[in-house]
Amino acid sequence: MKCEKEPYEAVIGLEIHARLATNTKLFCGDYNRFGDTPNSLISEISLAHPGTLPFLNKKAVSFAVKMGIACHCDITDTTYFARKNYFYPDLPKGYQVTQHISPICKNGYVPIRIENEIKDIFLNRIHLEEDAGKSLHDLDDKFSCLDFNRAGTPLIEIVTEPVLHSAEEAYQFLSEIRRLVKWLDICDGNMEEGSLRCDANISIRPKGSKKLGVKVEVKNLNSLRFVKKAIQVEINRLIELAKKNQQIIQETRSYDATSNTTFPMRDKESADDYRYFPEPDLPPVKINEGFFSDLKKSMPELPSQKEKRYCNEYKLPLLDAERLCAEKQVACYFDEAVKYSTNYKALANLITGPLMQYLHEQKSDFSNPVLPANKLEEIVQLIDENKINFSIAASKLLPFLMTHQNEDVLVAATREGWLQINDTDELEKWIQMVLDRMPDKVKQYQQGKKGLIGLMMGEVKKISKGKADPVITIKLLEEKLTKSN
Amino acid sequence: MFTFVSIQDYHLQLVHGRQTCVQAVTHYIREIQLQNHLNAFIETFKDEALARASELDAEIKEGKPLRKLHGVVIGIKDNICYKDHFISAGSNILRHFKSLYSATVIERILAEGAIIIGRQNCDEFAMGNRNENPVYGPVKNQLDNTRISGGSSGGSAVAVQASLCMASLGSDTGGSVRQPADHCGVIGFKPSYGMISRHGLIAYASSFDQIGIIANNIDDIEKIFHILSGEDGFDSTVLPNVRTDSAIETKPVKSTSKIAWLPETLHHTSLDPEIKTGLKNTLESLQKEGHLVEAVPFPLIDFIVPAYYILTTAEASSNLSRYDGVRYGYRKAMQTSDLFDFYAKNRSEGFGWEVKKRIMLGTFVLSAGYFDQYFKKAQQVRKLIIQLSEKIFQQYDFILLPTVPQVPDRIGTSGESSTSGYLSDIYTVFANLAGIPAISLPIYKHTSGMVFGIQAMSSQKNDIPLLRFSETLLKKH
Do B444 and B190 form a contact (C-beta atoms < 8 A)?
no
* pTM recorded for the entire structure: 0.91
H/E run at residue B411:
none
User: Which residues of B, range 349-388, sit inside 8 Å of A by Cβ?
Assistant: 363, 366-368, 371, 375
∠ CA B126-B127-B128, nearest 5°, is 110
Mean pLDDT value of segment A299-325: 95
Nearest CB to A277: which of B97, B324, B366? B366
Please state the φ and ψ torsions of residue A137, each to the nearest 5 degrees: -90, -15
User: What's residue A268's pLDDT?
Assistant: 53
Mean pLDDT value of segment A391-399: 86
Mean pLDDT value of segment A74-82: 96
Query: Strand A117-130 to strand A109-114: parallel, antiparallel, or no bridges (unpaired)?
Result: antiparallel
Please state the φ and ψ torsions of residue B458, each to the nearest 5 degrees: -135, 180
Max Cα–Cα distance, chain B, nearest Å? 73
A134: confidence class by pLDDT, cuts 50, 70, 90: very high
Comparison of pLDDT for A272 and B402, the residue scoring more: B402
Mean pLDDT value of segment A98-123: 95
User: What's residue A453's pLDDT?
Assistant: 86
The residue in chain B having the minimum alpha-carbon distance to the alpha carbon of residue A147 is B327
Cα-Cα-Cα-Cα torsion A329, A331, A335, A338, nearest 10 degrees, comes to 120
Please check the confidence at residue A2 and state whether its pLDDT lies above 50.
no
Mean pLDDT value of segment A100-119: 94
| CB-based contact B371 A53, cutoff 8 Å | no
Please check the confidence at residue A6 and state whether its pLDDT lies above 80.
no
| CB-based contact B235 A48, cutoff 8 Å | no
Q: Which residues in chain A touch residue B322, judged by CB atoms under 8 angstroms apart?
A: 48, 50, 92-94
DSSP conformation class of A111:
E
Mean pLDDT value of segment A347-366: 88
Beta strands per DSSP E along A192-330: 196-206, 216-221, 251-256, 261-264, 277-278, 285-286
Among the listed residues B99, B153, B168, B176, the single catalytic one is B176
User: What's residue A369's pLDDT?
Assistant: 66
B415: confidence class by pLDDT, cuts 50, 70, 90: low
∠ CA A433-A435-A438, nearest 5°, is 110
Q: Which residues in chain A touch residue B363, judged by CB atoms under 8 angstroms apart?
A: 275
The domain B1-477 having CATH identifier 3.10.129.10: the answer here is: no
Please check the confidence at residue B152 and state whether its pLDDT lies above 80.
yes
Q: Is B77 a catalytic residue?
A: yes
User: What's residue A265's pLDDT?
Assistant: 85
With an 8 Å Cβ cutoff, is B199 touching chain A? yes
Instruction: Give the whole-number percent of chain A exceeding pLDDT 90.
Output: 64
Mean pLDDT value of segment A122-141: 95
Q: What residues contact residue B256 under an 8 Å CB cut-off, 6+ apart?
A: B289, B290, B291, B292
| CB-based contact A280 B343, cutoff 8 Å | no
| CB-based contact B366 A52, cutoff 8 Å | no
For A84-119, give one letter per residue: b (16+ CB within 10 A) or e: bbbbbbbbbbbbbbbbbebbbbbbbbbebebeeeeb
Max Cα–Cα distance, chain A, nearest Å? 99
Q: How many C-beta atoms lie closer than 10 Å to residue A286's C-beta?
A: 10
Please check the confidence at residue B12 and state whether its pLDDT lies above 80.
yes
What's the one-letter identity of residue B209? D
Please state the φ and ψ torsions of residue A130, each to the nearest 5 degrees: -100, 150
Query: Strand B115-120 to strand B73-77: parallel, antiparallel, or no bridges (unpaired)?
Result: parallel
SS3 A196: strand
Segment among A104-113, A367-376, B218-227 with least mean pLDDT? A367-376
SS3 A66: helix
Nearest CB to B322: which of A54, A94, A273? A94
Mean pLDDT value of segment B426-455: 97
DSSP conformation class of A247:
P
Domain ranges of chain A: 8-290, 301-415, 424-483
| CB-based contact B318 A275, cutoff 8 Å | yes
Q: In whole angstroms, what separates CA B345 from the centre of its chain?
A: 32
Q: Is B152 a catalytic residue?
A: yes
Do A260 and A233 form a contact (C-beta atoms < 8 A)?
yes
Domain ranges of chain B: 1-477
The domain A424-483 having CATH identifier 1.10.10.410: the answer here is: yes
* Mean pLDDT, chain B, integer: 95
Segment among A208-217, A293-302, A449-458, B312-321 with least mean pLDDT? A449-458
With an 8 Å Cβ cutoff, is B318 touching chain A? yes
Q: Which residues in chain B touch residue A44, judged by CB atoms under 8 angstroms apart?
A: 99-101
Please check the confidence at residue A359 and state whether its pLDDT lies above 80.
yes
DSSP conformation class of B124:
G
Per-residue model confidence as pLDDT tens digits over B419-431: 777 778 999 999 9
The terminus-to-terminus CA distance of chain A in angstroms comes to: 58
Nearest CB to A50: which of B89, B234, B314? B89
The terminus-to-terminus CA distance of chain B in angstroms comes to: 29
| CB-based contact A87 B343, cutoff 8 Å | yes
Please check the confidence at residue B366 and state whether its pLDDT lies above 80.
yes
User: What's residue A3's pLDDT?
Assistant: 47
Min Cα–Cα distance to chain B from A343, Å: 55
Q: Which residues in chain A touch residue B375, judged by CB atoms under 8 angstroms apart?
A: 277
Segment among A470-474, A480-484, B19-23 with least mean pLDDT? A480-484
Per-residue model confidence as pLDDT tens digits over A112-130: 999 889 999 999 999 999 9
Q: Tell me if the bond preceding A464 is cis, omega within 30° of 0.
A: no
User: What's residue B414's pLDDT?
Assistant: 79
Please state the φ and ψ torsions of residue A366, each to the nearest 5 degrees: -70, -5
Please tell me the number of Cα atoms within 13 Å of A171 on its side-chain side.
Answer: 16
Distance, in Å, from the CA atom of A196 to the CA atom of B105, rounded to the nearest integer, reads 40
Do A191 and A39 form a contact (C-beta atoms < 8 A)?
no
B251: confidence class by pLDDT, cuts 50, 70, 90: low
Q: In whole angstroms, what separates CA B418 from the centre of its chain?
A: 21
Min Cα–Cα distance to chain B from A25, Å: 13
Please check the confidence at residue B77 and state whether its pLDDT lies above 80.
yes
Do A221 and A227 form a contact (C-beta atoms < 8 A)?
yes
With an 8 Å Cβ cutoff, is B203 touching chain A? yes
Per-residue model confidence as pLDDT tens digits over B104-132: 999 999 999 999 999 999 999 999 999 99
User: What's residue B423's pLDDT?
Assistant: 78
Mean pLDDT value of segment A203-223: 91
Among the listed residues B77, B140, B190, B461, the single catalytic one is B77
| CB-based contact A275 B236, cutoff 8 Å | no
Min Cα–Cα distance to chain B from A174, Å: 33
Q: Is B176 a catalytic residue?
A: yes
Query: Strand B167-172 to strand B73-77: parallel, antiparallel, or no bridges (unpaired)?
Result: parallel
Min Cα–Cα distance to chain B from A320, Å: 49
Min Cα–Cα distance to chain A from B233, Å: 7
A470: confidence class by pLDDT, cuts 50, 70, 90: confident
Please check the confidence at residue B252 and state whether its pLDDT lies above 80.
no
User: What's residue B250's pLDDT?
Assistant: 66
Q: What is the CA radius of gyration of chain B?
A: 22
Do B78 and B120 form a contact (C-beta atoms < 8 A)?
yes
| CB-based contact A89 B339, cutoff 8 Å | yes
